[in-house]
Structure 1
């Protein structure tokens, strides 16, 4: 995170230490100065962003096996408890990796334009990364492996025919017929294998864990910084459309056919994580609205003064009113969220009674 922010020019030499750790490194920050390699107005300005995204994925991939091993050491009694513990570990690590730089830009540097640019870069890079690593690369590797398998089978079949002893004319006719059937198959001897159900069983099994994790991380991008980047939801919708087409291709051509879908009462621990991020988003957006941006100053200019550098600062003695506004806004949003949760938490009582009666009648008829 520190290296990426220095290479992008976000950290100045006057930046204070974070938890006693120095965050500014001159030999890195000078690469983002005007005329340098990673000049924000140059042609290579996107390289640090791509490096940051790739580093995040490498760290997450490394921690993936560590988290699973740690969860196995815990010796959970049920598969659900195992999955919940694994989700908590991986989400905590990956959320820290993905959000720490954004929180630094938003609340330490308090630079909303940079935060917006970073969000756009992360959205775009992450979408390209997911399509490439989850669809293009596995499909290419699968095709290469299929070509190698086809070549080995055809070579083995040709060698077997060369080593076979002379046979009677009837056998020669049968061999000729067999070769004719093989020629009509898509790829000779290997085509018989590919045309059977064995081809599907040879594919990798589809696991939706990473897809759930990516959706949860994207939900955080959209909600935690919504006041700084309102178009994040629209950008996420476009990225999800690309991801939908990619996943459709992936399920049809890259991975083994999933088992039949089963009805479940909910999405499990993922729902608690989304609820938690929604609550945290209330506080982050209220802080961005009142402190890290000029949005509150535009609505209540009598509480702020214009500084020489173009920023707006709180007037002396007006801080308590600003805090009162932010606390009131935060409480209003929390109450609205709780009201929506209570009103939309489930079907009405009469619907539940009707469904219970139908289920009881169905059981009585079966018995």
Structure 2
């Protein structure tokens, strides 16, 4: 019985449905977080093996430059590829997990979805950078008593320290992510339009008998605005905020790249809203939801890391 209206309404059992669904949901999140950490560990092993093999068998490269620039750049690019692949799979899985929880209000659904996605993406994007910044080369041991993990010696920094490698790692992951996201934002609406025309020309979709001459008909035939459209925009900006606050000491040019990306993003969004999508239906909201708490947490973390 609703305590306000005193009317009977559908009820989802908290202990029989909500608790098991929430436990399964966050268990999957923890499992995928472990997969992201495992991907970082695999790239670390690759980096160590490349440095060792070049020291033992290859003399074509200057070992210092190879260890300081070439290997970290390749490893950072591999990290970026792993990040994008894991994000692709988790994006659709997170919606299914949140729907399984059967939350009562849209606000509860949005907050739960946001928390799950951001926890995963925080680990996915920042774990390799945190490793280089705070763990790599800190506990290697000493000759005849090196510290080992699963039988492997811990990775050590270059003679000048890990700052150069950290800068390379951060630059490739941050700039690569922004460049790819911007390219996809430009290409996807065009591809969807081409696909619609292709379906008409090949007979997969019946062509309209009436040629649209009115502006409102042409507007109606534009792409529909997804309810999660702004969600992806918020997520992109919060991830960027983490890059330019938590690790700004290692890569001082990060705010400049973020500014350039955001200026370009404004023009792309304007083009997207005016030419490719229908006008969104406005929805009232009292605030930005759980994003405010996430931004506050990032600001506090950045004080500690810097």
Residue in 2 aligned with 1:2? 41
Using the alignment, how far apart are the partners of 1:246 and 1:40 within structure 2?
39
Partner of 1:146 in structure 2? 197
Aligned twin of 1:70:
97
Spell out the pairing of 1:276-295 with structure 2 (5 A cutoff).
276-285=297-306
* Gap change, CA 1:202 and 1:239, over 3 Å in 2: closer
1:124 aligns with 2:193: no
Q: How many aligned residue pairs are there?
A: 236
- Match of 2:279? 257
Whole-Å separation in 2 of the counterparts to 1:258 and 1:80: 19
Q: Where do residues 25-104 of structure 1 align in structure 2 (5 Å cutoff)?
A: 26=49, 30=53, 35=60, 48-104=75-131
Distance in 1 between residues matched to 2:85 and 2:95, nearest whole Å: 16
Q: Which of 234, 246, 254 is the matching residue for 2:268?
A: 246
52-61 or 213-222, which deviates more: 52-61
Tell me the distance in 2 between the aligned counterparts of 1:260 and 1:218: 26
Q: Secondary structure at the match of 1:213?
A: helix
The unaligned stretches of length 5 or more in structure 1 are 13-25, 158-187, 286-367
Q: 1:130 to 1:194 in 2, by over 3 A?
A: farther
Is the 1:135–1:247 contact (alpha carbons within 8 Å) kept by the matching residues of 2?
no
Give TM-score scaled by structure 2 length.
0.65
Q: CA RMSD in A?
A: 3.5
2:178·2:261 contact (CA, 8 Å) conserved in 1? yes
The offset of 1:205, in angstroms, is: 2.0
Three-state SS of the structure 2 residue aligned to 1:192 is coil
Preserved contact between residue 68 and residue 86 of structure 1 (Cα < 8 Å): yes
CA contact (8 A) 1:135 1:249 kept: no
Tell me the equivalent position of 2:239: 217
Deviation of residue 44 (structure 1)?
9.8
Q: Which whole-Å CA distance do the structure 2 matches of 1:44 and 1:190 have between them?
A: 60
Structure exhibiting the larger radius of gyration computed from Cα positions: 1
Q: Which runs of 5+ in 2 are unaligned?
A: 1-39, 137-160
Alignment partner, residue 275 of structure 1 = 296
User: In the superposition, relative to structure 1, how do residues 220 and 43 fare at CA in structure 2: closer, same or farther (>3 Å)?
Assistant: closer
3-state SS, counterpart of residue 197 of structure 1: helix
Task: Tell me, in whole angstroms, the C-alpha distance in 2 between the residues paired with 1:195 and 1:102.
Answer: 50
| Residue of structure 2 in register with 1:331 after alignment | none
Asked if 1 retains the 8 angstrom alpha-carbon contact of 2:224 and 2:278, the reply is: yes
Does the residue aligned with 2:223 lie in a helix, a strand or coil?
coil
TM-score (norm 1): 0.55
- Contact 2:103/2:109 (8 A) holds in 1: yes
Match of 1:230 among 248, 252, 269: 252
